[in-house]
Structure 1
Amino acid sequence: MTGGGAGLVAHVLVPERDVDVRLTIGPDECVALIGPNGAGKSTVVEALAGLLRTRDGSVVLAGRDLTSVPTHRRRVGLVAQRPDLFAHRTVVGNVAFGPRATGAGRLEARHRAATALAAVGASGLADRSPTTLSGGQAQRVAVARALATEPALLLLDEPTTALDVDARTEVRAALRAALRGRPTLLVTHDPLEAVTLADRVVVLQDGRVVEEGRTEAVLRQPRTPFSASFSGLVLVPGTATPTGIALDGGGELASATHTVPPGRPAVAALHPTAARVRRDGPGLARTVTAVEPRDGLVRVHAGDLVADVTVASAAALGLEPGVAVRVAVDPDEVSVAAPA
């Protein structure tokens, strides 16, 4: 199945919600839209889908101005958190509903439904009742339902949030098939989903774009606290040096990845598991300020630095607030970038 032949250029301007977002998506590109709750992600989705009519801004898709076009004429497919399938229709009947609603004949709608189900690996579910499906199966059918309308733009609004781990894997495979050949916007809180599906990441905060770039670049070298948290990294502020960064909290970290001119404000991005904690020896001198359990490890806050260590290591080192420690990080594990 093929989508639109060109991309999306949009300016979502909603003054009453304090949202002002410019967004461009290539004709065969998936962009992940991330940000804290209340950042404006839902407003962007609603505006692109035509569910939110605004006086200002613009939405141009494949060279067609959709700003004043009603939802059912936009050729926009939407997959939300929950499938919301019609219980009184079979799976194939659910998927064929969209084409029928947009004017396709019965045979054409059934053909498009069958093609869409095959694309997401759900042909075997065609004659089932939605009430007999697992969560992952139902969401795959929802993806097929969006595909059957042959959308020029696909909107994925946290499509795996309501699923368990196994079902998420199943649905991601369906999504990879769905987004080929069309611009796609993916709203997600799942970094793995962004890595496996998105070409680029756009970070929203307070209704504005605060960071954007290739997915790998944003997640490896985040410039905002949210993108760092999203990727599992921590940001440590300081000043760039020729070999790394002089931290505001004292001491210097060497970095194998640093592009900020010396003397400029910078942030170091590192994963807490990359930080090694000792009671003495090499490393930056810090004092433990907090210790907390985290995902089977112990998270140690030592001033501006954060380290994840095993429970056994925490016990052996006697880590608790007030204890003096040394924290070391290999240069290969530290990225230095300009702050957003």
Structure 2
Amino acid sequence: MTGGLRAHVVVPERDVDVRLDIGPAECVALVGPNGAGKSTVVEALAGLLRTRQGEVVLGDRDLTRVPPYRRGVGLVAQRADLFPHRSVAGNVAYGPRASGSGGREARARSSAALAAVGVAGLADRAPGTLSGGQAQRVAIARALATDPALLLLDEPTSALDVDARAEVRAALGTARTGRPTLLVTHDPLEAVALADRIVVLEAGRVVEAGPTADVLGRPTSAFAASFSGLTLVRGTATRGGIALEGGGALASGTHTVPPGRPALAVYHPTAARPTRDGAGPERPVTTLEPRDGLVRVRAGELVADVTVSVAAALALAPGEAVRIVVPDAEVTVYAPAGAPTSW
């Protein structure tokens, strides 16, 4: 088992300043909006981006000034980018050969890596005859064949269809075992399946980090809430729920924050119901958006996903006042990071 990663990526010209630690056999998902700095972190760890500040330490090796080919880092990107003039086996054997292994050892490593990700039968095929999912599994095998001390997965399934993603995700589960792994993803299911922890980047800074279940179930940043499909609201804890910053309140069946303390609450938008009357907080409708066969109603910080018929029956339109009702069993109230949680 290899050592863990300790990195401080500082790229002033891109306004990125990120500290990152990954345990020896841990997978960390790096998520955030476009332009948050995720690719910069990956490039710096791989040695593809030279930095004048910060550090990259892997186990007991300082890689900060080490060139990419000597780092022992495996990278699987969005596209497989296999050598078209080499067979699948030749593509996978290329890494070991380039790092000094003899032909017999390189072929053995290639065979073992292809078998590990379930594509041993493709060894003699030409890359041009592969499907997208097959090619990406070969790319994973290519990274594995070098026995990398650190594995970087940069949106490895984003270019694939749903069926291929499931196969590639299984291969990634094999690849990440026993080594520190950084996974950049926009797919919550991928994070759940592969990551032990999630680190959230916004504007080149870490804004949230924690175990996968905690970040997805009780997010503290707007992006993490959006990533997990939840609506996040802020306010002050009450004995029965949360008083919202914009006025009104939500009752909660799950609340552990002392009354009067700052609090967060989450619920799933499909649990919310817009009404013209009722007891829910009142807000003007901000936007109406089509979403997966439903209509997403945004009313200030509150969100509800409803059918088209419900939206039509209520004659919802931007600027119109609406009340958002959420059953208390669907609302979870909790403390912001670092705040007391006991009564």
Work out whether residues 249 and 280 of structure 2, in 8 Å CA contact, stay in contact via their aligned partners in 1: no
Partners of 1:75 and 1:137 in 2: how far apart? 24
2:189 to 163, 178, 192: 192
* Structure 2 alignment gaps of length 5 or more: 338-343
Partners of 2:20 and 2:300 in 1: how far apart? 38
Work out whether residues 223 and 337 of structure 1, in 8 Å CA contact, stay in contact via their aligned partners in 2: no
Work out whether residues 278 and 325 of structure 2, in 8 Å CA contact, stay in contact via their aligned partners in 1: no
The alpha carbon displacement at 1:235 in A equals 1.8
Q: Partner residue of 1:16?
A: 13
* Other structure's SS at 2:53 match: coil
The alpha carbon displacement at 1:211 in A equals 0.4
* Structure 1 alignment gaps of length 5 or more: none
Which moved further from structure 2: 264-273 or 144-153?
264-273
* Other structure's SS at 1:127 match: coil
Q: Partner residue of 1:146?
A: 143
Q: Partner residue of 1:223?
A: 220
Mapped pair 1:114 → 2:88: no
Mapped pair 1:134 → 2:158: no
Read off the aligned partner of 1:255 and give its amino acid letter. Answer: S
1:92 to 67, 74, 89: 89
The alpha carbon displacement at 1:287 in A equals 4.2
Q: Partner residue of 2:63?
A: 66
Deviations 1:292-312 (A, max 9, x none): 321100112233321001122
Work out whether residues 220 and 335 of structure 1, in 8 Å CA contact, stay in contact via their aligned partners in 2: no
Partners of 2:36 and 2:318 in 1: how far apart? 35
Q: How high is the sequence identity, in percent, across the aligned residues?
A: 74
Which moved further from structure 2: 122-131 or 56-65?
56-65
Work out whether residues 300 and 306 of structure 1, in 8 Å CA contact, stay in contact via their aligned partners in 2: yes
The alpha carbon displacement at 1:279 in A equals 3.5
TM-score, scaled relative to structure 1: 0.94
Partners of 2:64 and 2:230 in 1: how far apart? 38
Q: Partner residue of 2:247?
A: 250
Cα RMSD of the aligned pairs, angstroms, is: 1.8
Deviations 1:54-74 (A, max 9, x none): 222111112221112221111
Q: Number of matched residues?
A: 337
The alpha carbon displacement at 1:259 in A equals 4.0
The alpha carbon displacement at 1:321 in A equals 3.8
* Structural mapping, 1:161-310, within 5 Å: 161-310=158-307
The alpha carbon displacement at 1:339 in A equals 4.8
The alpha carbon displacement at 1:322 in A equals 5.2
Mapped pair 1:311 → 2:304: no
